[in-house]
Amino acid sequence: MLRYYFSLALRSFRRSRVLTALMVLAIALGIGSSMTTLTVFHVLSGDPLPGKSDKLYYPQLDAESMVGYVPGQEPQNQLTRFDAEALLAAGRADRQALLTAGRVAVEPQSAEPAPFHADTRYTSADFFPMFDVPFRFGQGWSGVEDERRARVVVISEALNDRLFGGENSVGRTLRLDQIDFRIVGVLDHWRPHVRFYDLTAIDRFGGAEEIFLPFSTSRDLGLSRSGSITCWDSTGTDPTGLNAPCVWMQFWVQLDSPRKAHEYRTFLENYSEEQRAAGRFERPTNVRLRNLTEWLDHNRVVPSDVRLQTWLAFGFLAVCLLNTIGLLLAKFMRRSGEIGVRRALGAARRTIFFQFIVEAGVVGVAGGLLGLGLALLGLWTVRQQPASYAQLAEIDGLMLATTLVLALAASLLAGVLPAWRACQVTPAIQLKSQ
């Protein structure tokens, strides 16, 4: 029966090509615009670590002076070096990692390529297992190597391809800032859509760094750092010193149960009280402990213009559906005579209703396919924009399926009222008018 209704729909389309084309175009425009913005929103708001985001937490401490103090205000979103190293040494979490950004000069062993600078992440051993960073060759360094300030390094897949032709480079030497480091690991493809582990970065959507090495080693060798830094007092000559009144470190902990999260928050409060007693902290205890999802929401990772565009696009889709309803209603009611004859010959109302719903569904499928093409064109247009997240605008399997399902659902929804009106046609009146 469904096949028969499908053939009836095709015949109807041939009889009213212009009207059918207008309906397909209306749905396609609505689907194309809404899926373009929804795909961008989906990419930016997606969970970077599904199944683990509720176990990773970002601690905050209020270490500033009393100057400008406002009770209950949000603490700084970074830690001082002293506090980050103290929390790391305490080891009160299942895993913990301190990190900050850097930039080093890479000196290839061969003449090609020429020396260049690379973005670097100074961190500690637990960074890789905490964030499920995949490896192609080797592995990360150990906590012992952190303590020994070992000259070891992990490099990205792209850098390994550039310097070593994609070969297993574990054990080989990489010269950074005129210092030799031993490669202990090569990452597999790892390019998070959002640099979730460091939302203080200027470019939150720039992907991962090319080089990772122990933070302790970076300080021992005096390697240059990058990224934001906030100071509230005189720092002398080195704002990155151990006791400098500056925040510039990120710190993450893994807590595998709500009980451990509660205990760790209590530990942070006690630590803050201890630092106040020691004279380091001046402000009353004010700590935060948000999990990864909460941290992303707090920092409004999804730009406000993307949210606004998404709402506007779905508003436009609603307008397109209203137009489609009007066109379907006009199309179906023009066939009142045909409907009256079929009803007089014994066709049930539900049969008429189902026939027209199938016809609306076919319009939706056609509109969805055209809308998918418009969405791909829209995403290509987004990728040409200067926004930092523009290059992430790629449709995936989920968004592809969502496009088609949304188009079908929208057309069926638009077809309910016209189909219901069509099946209410009174056979006697139509036969009399004939």
Please tell me the predicted confidence (pLDDT) of residue 433. 47
Is residue 133 domain-resident? yes
Same-domain check for residues 132 and 35? no
138 conformational bin, left if phi > 0, alpha if psi -120 to 50, beta if neither? left
Domain that holds residue 109: 62-286
Same-domain check for residues 229 and 373? no
Is residue 277 domain-resident? yes
Same-domain check for residues 230 and 107? yes
Contact 57, 264 (CB under 8 A): yes
Kindly state the DSSP code that residue 249 receives in the 8-state scheme.
B
Is residue 52 domain-resident? no
Smallest Cα–Cα separation from 53: which of 249, 291, 213, 284? 291
Same-domain check for residues 197 and 237? yes
Which of 286, 317, 336 terminates a domain? The answer is: 286
Is residue 291 domain-resident? no
Which of 236, 254, 286 terminates a domain? The answer is: 286
How far apart, in Å, are the Cα atoms of 223 and each of 120, 154, 178, 240, 258? Answer: 10, 16, 11, 11, 38
Please tell me the predicted confidence (pLDDT) of residue 338. 62
Written as one letter, the residue type at 29 is: L
Same-domain check for residues 215 and 249? yes
Written as one letter, the residue type at 323 is: N
Please tell me the predicted confidence (pLDDT) of residue 400. 76
Same-domain check for residues 21 and 74? no
Same-domain check for residues 33 and 115? no
Is residue 298 domain-resident? no
DSSP track, 374-392? HHHHHHHHHHTSSSTTGGG
Is residue 353 domain-resident? yes
Q: Distance between the two ends of the chain, CA-based, in angstroms?
A: 28
Q: Is 60 helix (H, G, I), strand (E, B) or coil?
A: strand
Please tell me the predicted confidence (pLDDT) of residue 67. 86
Same-domain check for residues 217 and 188? yes
Same-domain check for residues 240 and 157? yes
Is residue 53 domain-resident? no
What is the maximum span of the chain, computed from C-alpha positions, in angstroms?
A: 99
Same-domain check for residues 322 and 260? no
Please tell me the predicted confidence (pLDDT) of residue 364. 78
Same-domain check for residues 216 and 92? yes
CB atoms < 10 A from the CB of 315, how many? 13
143 conformational bin, left if phi > 0, alpha if psi -120 to 50, beta if neither? alpha
**What average pLDDT values come out for the chain (434 residues) when binned by 10 residues?**
64 74 84 85 80 94 88 91 96 96 90 85 96 95 95 95 93 94 94 87 77 96 90 78 91 96 96 93 93 90 77 84 78 63 62 74 81 85 73 74 78 73 56 46
How far apart, in Å, are the Cα atoms of 342 and each of 9, 321, 356, 425, 427? Answer: 16, 28, 13, 10, 8
Same-domain check for residues 401 and 352? yes
Is residue 54 domain-resident? no
The number of distinct structural domains making up the chain is 2
